[in-house]
Amino acid sequence: MKIKLLVALPLILLLLVTQSLSASESEDYLIHDESCKNTSIYFFYGEGCPHCIAIEPIVKATSAQCEISFKSYEVYHNETNRQLLTDFAKRYCINATRVPAIFVGDSALIGDEQITKNLYDKIISAKENNMDALHYSKNCTTTPPPPPPLPTIATVIGAALVDSINPCAIGVLIIFITFMTSSMKLSRRRIAIYGAIYITAVYLAYFLAGVGILKFFHSFESMIFVQILVVIILLVGILLSFRDTYLTLTKKGKPLLAIPASAKGTIERYIKKGTVLGVIALGVLVAMVELPCTGQVYLGILTVLNTIDFNYGILLLSLYNFIFVLPLILILIFGLFGRTLSEFSEKKQEESWLMRYLAGWVMIFLTAILMDEIFKFFGYTGVAVPDLLKLTYEGFFIFAVASIVSLFVIFSLLRPIVKKRINIWYCSYCYASAITWIFLSGLYLLGVDVPKILIAGLLGMSLAGIWEEFKKFNFKYFGVFTIFSAVFGIILLYVLSAGQRFEFLLLVLPIFVLDGIIFLKNFEIMLTSAGDKGSAGKGAKRWQVPKEEKKGLREMLDHCCD
């Protein structure tokens, strides 16, 4: 019996110690230091959040090392925890309620980068002051949120400028003013009032719709799925926009991104009403049915604005919509002062392909910005570059020379074959230089230490070549383009030297835009020359509206987006 007791007693003691340890472990890294028994880490995360998954083991290990209690709360699927996070944010005077988030002592750490850099020091400070985040409340001072970054402002203005020259909005206004002048015989004062009401209705319809969508976006805890959906919509819009560019340039079909044919009868009816309410309804209706023309860009801009403070987003949204209706205001003013709107209509039809082409590139810009946000969310850091491509400083210069020379020889040999099959603009040196700097820029964006002076030199040569090609077109605003080229080159050089890789990517894209314009402009000249010889005459005539039909309102509406 005594032997049994002697054997059982150690087992009972071992069981009690084990239960004590397991109880301690079940309370999420309970503290062992009595001086900080009221201090805890409060960790907020979302199920499926890659940043949260990556940072949680580090937080647990640090809390165990510092002997401090660790408490975690999932917020994506738990309303109580989400409200607790909001309460913490208010007491710590911060606007952000995104995850991962940690509150310890008097400090709030938002995002994996802040947590990794500062967690240990903040824990030590909280322990020294015996301060628990659950009972801490900061004396909040009303500090305004930071203004939106300059790239965001530039994106909004650039997108608005391109979106404002969409053929549909301009075409409907020209038809409306023409009809009021020729058919309704309204006075100049009446036309001014009706035109102003129409433009105001378009502005308010777009602006209020944008505010509603922006507010809807701000209600999401995480925008990742919305951003992915918008990127898909933008990619489809890019394909359709470039398709419409080709169709408009070659006159081989109707553009898809246009006002639906089913809505044109309703537009015609409201134009003929000639009343204030009819004009208001016309403006709202046109704003809605123009979505195939402008909706993709507008949705992309709203998604970008959702990444900044809501009030600043509303301010930039109002600026965007003002720029959007600015051409309409100018057309109305020109129409009131006796300028014939047929000139605008003809010019619009001539440059319709350019408007659609630029709209496609704006969508590419927005896609790049949103993809950057998506990559950040998933913690994507880029692909591994083979060591073979990591050359020495001198090696990159030798590679550039060898690449340009060899590609120049190849393109020169291919020139007769290509020109015989496809009569397109062809510059062997331009292509060789462009492919070289594109490859080197790609390596730079992937993190390879490519000499920046080499990239800058190659880009400078490309910009000089683009300037020379634009000079051949003899267009009216070449002086403005020259100033733009100089300023753009300096900004590009600054961003490159500052090592801002993503901003460099965004600034490189306009070079592709300009190259595309050169290619398409030469293609247009080739089509025009062929048309003069009779090879494209039939196609051109098929798209011309006969003079006797131009008086018909419906016939004009049928071609308002051409």
Residues 107 and 169 in one domain: no
Residues 348 and 292 in one domain: yes
Separation in Å, CA 336 to CA 124, 167, 202, 327:
72, 21, 19, 14
Distance CA 482, CA 470 (A): 9
Residues 201 and 128 in one domain: no
Residues 248 and 358 in one domain: yes
- The distance of Cα 368 from the centroid of its chain, to the nearest Å, equals 6
Q: How many CA atoms lie within 13 A of 455 on its CB side?
A: 25
Residues 194 and 311 in one domain: yes
Residue 340 belongs to some domain of the structure: yes
* 3 state SS of 145: coil
Residue 249 belongs to some domain of the structure: yes
Residue 166 parent element (H or E): none
Distance CA 561, CA 259 (A): 7
Residue 296 belongs to some domain of the structure: yes
Distance CA 89, CA 283 (A): 43
Distance CA 524, CA 355 (A): 14
Range of the domain at 117: 21-135
Widest CA span of the chain, in angstroms?
A: 121
Q: Rg of the chain's alpha carbons, rounded to an integer?
A: 32
Say what angle helices 50-65 and 112-128 make with each other, to 10 degrees. 20
In degrees rounded to 5, what are phi and psi of residue 137? -145, 120
Residue 313 token pair:
């987003």
Q: What is the DSSP letter of 140?
A: -
Query: Of the candidates 465, 443, 463, which has an alpha carbon nearest to the alpha carbon of residue 399?
Result: 443
Locate the DSSP E strands across 79-222. Answer: 101-104, 107-110
Distance CA 64, CA 33 (A): 11
Q: How many CA atoms lie within 13 A of 95 on its CB side?
A: 12
Distance CA 134, CA 78 (A): 19
Residues 187 and 98 in one domain: no
Residues 258 and 374 in one domain: yes
Separation in Å, CA 545 to CA 351, 540, 551:
17, 10, 10
Residue 365 belongs to some domain of the structure: yes
Residues 270 and 234 in one domain: yes
In degrees rounded to 5, what are phi and psi of residue 473? -75, -15
User: Which residue type, as a one-letter code, is found at position 412?
Assistant: S
Q: Tell me, what's the pLDDT at 384?
A: 66
Distance CA 360, CA 132 (A): 53
Q: How many CA atoms lie within 13 A of 397 on its CB side?
A: 7
Residue 386 token pair:
């083979």
Q: Tell me, what's the pLDDT at 119?
A: 86
Residue 447 belongs to some domain of the structure: no
Distance CA 464, CA 317 (A): 36
Residue 158 belongs to some domain of the structure: yes
Question: Which of 135, 169, 185 represents a domain boundary (last residue)?
Answer: 135
Distance CA 488, CA 367 (A): 22
* 3 state SS of 260: coil
Residues 214 and 349 in one domain: yes
Q: What is the DSSP letter of 144?
A: P
Task: Provide the 10 A C-beta neighbour count for residue 139.
Answer: 5
Beta-bridge partners for 70: 41
What number of residues does the chain have? 562
Beta-bridge partners for 101: 44, 110
Beta-bridge partners for 73: 44
Q: Tell me, what's the pLDDT at 555?
A: 63
How close are the terminal C-alpha atoms of the chain, in Å?
A: 104
Model confidence pLDDT, tens digit, residues 396-422: 999 999 999 999 899 888 888 777 766
Q: Which residues of the chain have pLDDT under 50?
A: 1-37, 535-551
Residue 182 belongs to some domain of the structure: yes
Distance CA 260, CA 561 (A): 10
Distance CA 505, CA 442 (A): 9
Residues 276 and 249 in one domain: yes
Residue owning tokens 């909280």: 126
Residues 196 and 314 in one domain: yes
Number of domains in the chain: 2
CATH code of 130's domain: 3.40.30.10
Residue 318 token pair:
């109002």
pTM: 0.71
Q: Tell me, what's the pLDDT at 82?
A: 85
Buried b (16+ CB within 10 A) or exposed e, 116-135: eeebeebbeebbeeebbbee
Separation in Å, CA 188 to CA 154, 173, 193, 272, 353:
37, 15, 9, 17, 33
Taking a C-beta distance cutoff of 8 angstroms, is the pair 111, 102 a contact? no
Question: Which of 135, 167, 198 represents a domain boundary (last residue)?
Answer: 135
Distance CA 281, CA 276 (A): 9
Question: Which of 135, 166, 195 represents a domain boundary (last residue)?
Answer: 135
- The distance of Cα 172 from the centroid of its chain, to the nearest Å, equals 28
Residue owning tokens 């301010």: 315
Residues 237 and 356 in one domain: yes
Residue 178 belongs to some domain of the structure: yes
Query: Of the candidates 89, 78, 69, 79, which has an alpha carbon nearest to the alpha carbon of residue 28?
Result: 69
Beta-bridge partners for 44: 73, 101
